Amino acid sequence: MRRNKTKLLVTLACLGAYAFFGWHAKYGARSFAYQQSVREKLALTKIRHDRLVAERKALESHVKLLRPESLDADMLDEKARQMLGYVRPGEIVSFAAQ
Protein backbone atom coordinates (compact mmCIF):
# COMPACT_ATOMS: atom_id res chain seq x y z
CA MET A 1 0.00 0.00 0.00
CA ARG A 2 2.82 2.41 0.86
CA ARG A 3 4.49 1.72 -2.44
CA ASN A 4 1.31 2.62 -4.36
CA LYS A 5 1.10 5.98 -2.56
CA THR A 6 4.71 6.75 -3.45
CA LYS A 7 4.08 5.90 -7.14
CA LEU A 8 0.97 8.05 -7.09
CA LEU A 9 2.85 11.00 -5.57
CA VAL A 10 5.69 10.67 -8.07
CA THR A 11 3.21 10.48 -10.94
CA LEU A 12 1.31 13.52 -9.67
CA ALA A 13 4.57 15.45 -9.24
CA CYS A 14 5.64 14.58 -12.79
CA LEU A 15 2.23 15.58 -14.17
CA GLY A 16 2.39 18.83 -12.21
CA ALA A 17 5.86 19.60 -13.58
CA TYR A 18 4.66 18.73 -17.09
CA ALA A 19 1.64 21.01 -16.70
CA PHE A 20 3.81 23.82 -15.27
CA PHE A 21 6.33 23.74 -18.09
CA GLY A 22 3.64 23.22 -20.72
CA TRP A 23 1.68 26.25 -19.52
CA HIS A 24 4.82 28.41 -19.53
CA ALA A 25 5.78 27.18 -22.99
CA LYS A 26 2.42 28.30 -24.35
CA TYR A 27 1.55 31.39 -22.27
CA GLY A 28 4.67 32.40 -20.34
CA ALA A 29 6.95 35.39 -20.78
CA ARG A 30 9.36 33.37 -22.98
CA SER A 31 6.71 31.35 -24.79
CA PHE A 32 6.76 30.11 -28.36
CA ALA A 33 4.50 32.99 -29.43
CA TYR A 34 6.91 35.49 -27.84
CA GLN A 35 9.86 33.90 -29.63
CA GLN A 36 7.99 34.13 -32.94
CA SER A 37 7.28 37.83 -32.37
CA VAL A 38 10.95 38.40 -31.58
CA ARG A 39 11.92 36.67 -34.85
CA GLU A 40 9.50 38.90 -36.78
CA LYS A 41 10.87 42.04 -35.12
CA LEU A 42 14.40 40.87 -35.92
CA ALA A 43 13.52 40.37 -39.59
CA LEU A 44 11.97 43.86 -39.78
CA THR A 45 15.00 45.34 -38.05
CA LYS A 46 17.35 43.64 -40.51
CA ILE A 47 15.35 45.04 -43.44
CA ARG A 48 15.47 48.53 -41.91
CA HIS A 49 19.21 48.15 -41.25
CA ASP A 50 19.88 47.14 -44.87
CA ARG A 51 17.85 50.12 -46.10
CA LEU A 52 19.78 52.51 -43.84
CA VAL A 53 23.13 51.05 -44.94
CA ALA A 54 22.18 51.62 -48.59
CA GLU A 55 21.07 55.18 -47.80
CA ARG A 56 24.32 55.85 -45.94
CA LYS A 57 26.40 54.57 -48.86
CA ALA A 58 24.50 56.85 -51.24
CA LEU A 59 25.05 59.85 -48.94
CA GLU A 60 28.74 59.01 -48.57
CA SER A 61 29.15 58.93 -52.35
CA HIS A 62 27.53 62.38 -52.61
CA VAL A 63 29.75 63.74 -49.85
CA LYS A 64 32.79 62.25 -51.54
CA LEU A 65 31.97 64.20 -54.71
CA LEU A 66 31.79 67.46 -52.73
CA ARG A 67 35.16 67.07 -51.00
CA PRO A 68 37.84 69.52 -52.19
CA GLU A 69 40.18 66.80 -53.56
CA SER A 70 37.44 65.36 -55.77
CA LEU A 71 35.13 68.30 -56.35
CA ASP A 72 32.85 67.84 -59.34
CA ALA A 73 32.10 71.26 -60.82
CA ASP A 74 28.92 70.10 -62.54
CA MET A 75 27.50 68.68 -59.33
CA LEU A 76 28.44 71.82 -57.42
CA ASP A 77 26.72 73.96 -60.06
CA GLU A 78 23.62 71.73 -59.99
CA LYS A 79 23.36 71.82 -56.19
CA ALA A 80 23.87 75.57 -56.04
CA ARG A 81 21.18 76.18 -58.65
CA GLN A 82 18.83 73.77 -56.93
CA MET A 83 19.31 75.28 -53.46
CA LEU A 84 19.40 78.93 -54.50
CA GLY A 85 17.01 78.73 -57.43
CA TYR A 86 19.27 80.68 -59.81
CA VAL A 87 18.79 80.33 -63.55
CA ARG A 88 20.44 82.18 -66.42
CA PRO A 89 18.16 84.14 -68.80
CA GLY A 90 16.73 81.91 -71.52
CA GLU A 91 17.77 78.74 -69.72
CA ILE A 92 15.35 75.88 -69.09
CA VAL A 93 16.05 73.85 -65.97
CA SER A 94 14.27 70.65 -65.00
CA PHE A 95 14.98 69.02 -61.64
CA ALA A 96 13.94 65.43 -61.03
CA ALA A 97 11.81 64.86 -57.92
CA GLN A 98 13.75 63.14 -55.15
Report pLDDT digits (tens) over 4-49. 889 999 999 999 999 999 888 888 888 888 889 999 999 999 999 9
From CA 46, how far away is CA 55, in angstroms rounded?
14
List, in order, residues 6 or more apart from 75 with CB less than 8 Å away: 65, 66
The confidence score (pLDDT) of residue 63 equals 84
Whole-prediction pTM: 0.50
The confidence score (pLDDT) of residue 53 equals 97
**For the chain, which residues make up each domain, given as ranges?**
1-29, 31-89
From CA 86, how far away is CA 2, in angstroms rounded?
100
Who wins on pLDDT, 90 or 46?
A: 46
Instruction: Specify whether the CB–CB gap between 81 and 93 falls below 8 A.
Output: yes
The confidence score (pLDDT) of residue 8 equals 92
Looking at every residue in the chain, the average pLDDT score rounds to 85
